[in-house]
């Protein structure tokens, strides 16, 4: 998961103070700063079916140095409480990712100036209450794990879906900027993941294209076509609805074909019943209706003849009722 967490508070050593004091107006002493380490992100697939590659973690390590940590992605100066002064990419040899790669993570060290204003936050970090952090960054390449295509342009795979036993996810590559990292106020918050470069997503959803527009667009497009999540969901429910209607239509057509086959037999058409049943199954509803109406006319004229001739009972009611498919 790309929501990182605070590991522990650390004691600022001279080396740390040297790095910290690059960001401060006055030189701080070990007593004046509170330092802690934090895992910002890793190479595991996150809740959004996305992961950073190890190269991305290395780039982010450089980009996150000097970045301030805030509460809940609220970039107001007053909330900027901690700053990253050192980062490193580490490998946990004892842990494998779900893709069976070595678990690799970006660890950062951050400091806060001890003050009344952030005393509560320091207590919360020490007490393990403020544990989760999330990071905001942008990447210039997002790759589909199935076909390696640029997922920003779109491919036929959907992240989270399984293709031939492998779940599709997106690989975040070539980070271009690290905006911020923040303390997540509610650690259990499900969507508090990495804020990646998806600024356009909501805007696209607000100008949702309707199904008719999309279907028209499909018929004329000659290359890959990208749908927003909301559009894909609307299209799915439309297809489900059509499937239901088609099921009912198919059942009606089958009943009609059986009825026409039965009438063909009764009308003594000299046709093999099995052959006619096969032909009827291939007719469309209009053709079946035409046959039905023709046979019904023929049969009603038979009945008239039977009534007139009396004894000529080629087709009695009994034989008609015997026939069942
Ligand atoms: Zn793909």
Domains of the chain, residue spans: 4-198, 229-322
- Give 142 Cα–ligand 1 centroid separation in angstroms: 11
State the pLDDT at residue 56. 95
> If we measure between CA atoms, which residue out of 126, 130, 168 comes closest to residue 147?
168
Helix axes 273-282, 229-266, angle to 10 degrees: 150
- Give 165 Cα–ligand 1 centroid separation in angstroms: 14
- Give 325 Cα–ligand 1 centroid separation in angstroms: 49
Rounded to whole angstroms, how far apart are CA atoms 45 and 100? Answer: 11
- Give 169 Cα–ligand 1 centroid separation in angstroms: 9
33-42/4-10 β-pairing: antiparallel
Per the structure block, which two tokens stand in for 258? Answer: 């059986």
Name the pLDDT band for 27 (thresholds 50, 70, 90).
Answer: confident
Exposure of 243 by Cβ count < 10 A (0-12 exposed, 13-18 middle, 19+ buried)? exposed
Q: Kindly tell me if the per-residue pLDDT of 53 is higher than 90.
A: yes
Rounded to whole angstroms, how far apart are CA atoms 231 and 210? Answer: 7
Give 183-236 pLDDT, tens digit per residue.
765 433 333 333 333 333 333 344 567 778 788 777 777 777 777 777 787 888
> Is the CB of residue 41 less than 8 Å from the CB of residue 105?
yes
Higher pLDDT, 267 or 187: 267
What average pLDDT score do residues 50-62 get? 95
Rounded to whole angstroms, how far apart are CA atoms 63 and 59? Answer: 6
- Give 148 Cα–ligand 1 centroid separation in angstroms: 6
Give 153-168 pLDDT, tens digit per residue.
889 999 999 999 999 9
What average pLDDT score do residues 64-91 get? 78
What average pLDDT score do residues 15-28 get? 84
Of 221-230, 281-290, 294-303, the least confident: 221-230
**What are the CA-CA distances from residue 120 to residues 76, 102, 111, 116, 301 (Å)?**
18, 37, 15, 8, 97
Q: Kindly tell me if the per-residue pLDDT of 325 is higher than 70.
A: no
- Give 102 Cα–ligand 1 centroid separation in angstroms: 24
- Give 160 Cα–ligand 1 centroid separation in angstroms: 12
State the pLDDT at residue 129. 66
- Give 153 Cα–ligand 1 centroid separation in angstroms: 10
Q: Kindly tell me if the per-residue pLDDT of 1 is higher than 70.
A: no
What average pLDDT score do residues 12-35 get? 83
- Give 171 Cα–ligand 1 centroid separation in angstroms: 11
- Give 154 Cα–ligand 1 centroid separation in angstroms: 7
What average pLDDT score do residues 27-45 get? 87
- Give 4 Cα–ligand 1 centroid separation in angstroms: 28
- Give 104 Cα–ligand 1 centroid separation in angstroms: 25
- Give 168 Cα–ligand 1 centroid separation in angstroms: 8
Rounded to whole angstroms, how far apart are CA atoms 263 and 273? Answer: 10
Of 153-157, 175-179, 238-242, the least confident: 238-242
Name the pLDDT band for 151 (thresholds 50, 70, 90).
Answer: confident
Residue 105's SS3 state is: strand
Rounded to whole angstroms, how far apart are CA atoms 302 and 264? Answer: 13
C-alpha radius of gyration, the chain, whole number: 35
What average pLDDT score do residues 120-128 get? 76
Of 127-131, 132-136, 260-264, 272-276, the least confident: 127-131
What average pLDDT score do residues 27-31 get? 82
């Amino acid at each position: 998961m790309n929501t990182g967490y605070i590991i522990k508070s650390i004691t600022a050593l001279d080396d740390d103070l040297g790095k910290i004091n690059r960001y401060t107006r006055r030189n701080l002493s070990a007593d004046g700063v509170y330092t802690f380490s934090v895992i910002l992100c890793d190479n595991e697939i996150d809740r959004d079916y996305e992961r950073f590659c190890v190269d991305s973690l290395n780039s982010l390590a450089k980009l996150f140095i000097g970045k301030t940590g805030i509460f809940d992605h609220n970039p107001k100066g007053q909330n900027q409480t901690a700053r990253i002064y050192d980062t490193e990419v580490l490998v946990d040899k004892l842990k494998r990712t779900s893709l069976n790669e070595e678990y690799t993570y970006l660890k950062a060290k951050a400091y806060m100036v001890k003050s009344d204003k952030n005393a509560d936050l320091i207590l919360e970090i020490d007490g393990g209450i403020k544990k989760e952090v999330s990071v905001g960054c942008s990447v210039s390449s997002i790759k589909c794990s199935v076909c390696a295509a640029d997922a920003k342009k779109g491919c036929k795979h959907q992240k989270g879906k399984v293709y031939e036993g492998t779940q599709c996810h997106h690989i975040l590559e070539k980070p271009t900027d690290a905006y911020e990292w923040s303390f997540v106020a509610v650690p259990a918050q499900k969507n508090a993941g990495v804020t990646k470069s998806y600024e356009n997503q909501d805007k696209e959803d607000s100008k949702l294209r309707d199904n008719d527009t999309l279907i028209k667009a499909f018929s004329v497009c000659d290359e890959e076509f990208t749908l927003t999540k909301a559009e894909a969901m609307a299209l799915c429910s439309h297809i489900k609805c059509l499937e239901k209607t088609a099921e009912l239509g198919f059942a009606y057509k089958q009943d009609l074909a059986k009825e026409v086959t039965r009438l063909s037999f009764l009308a003594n058409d000299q046709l093999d019943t099995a052959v006619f049943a096969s032909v009827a199954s291939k007719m469309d509803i209009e053709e079946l209706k035409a046959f039905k109406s023709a046979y019904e006319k023929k049969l009603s004229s038979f009945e008239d003849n039977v009534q007139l001739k009396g004894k000529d009972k080629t087709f009695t009611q009994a034989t008609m009722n015997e026939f069942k498919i």
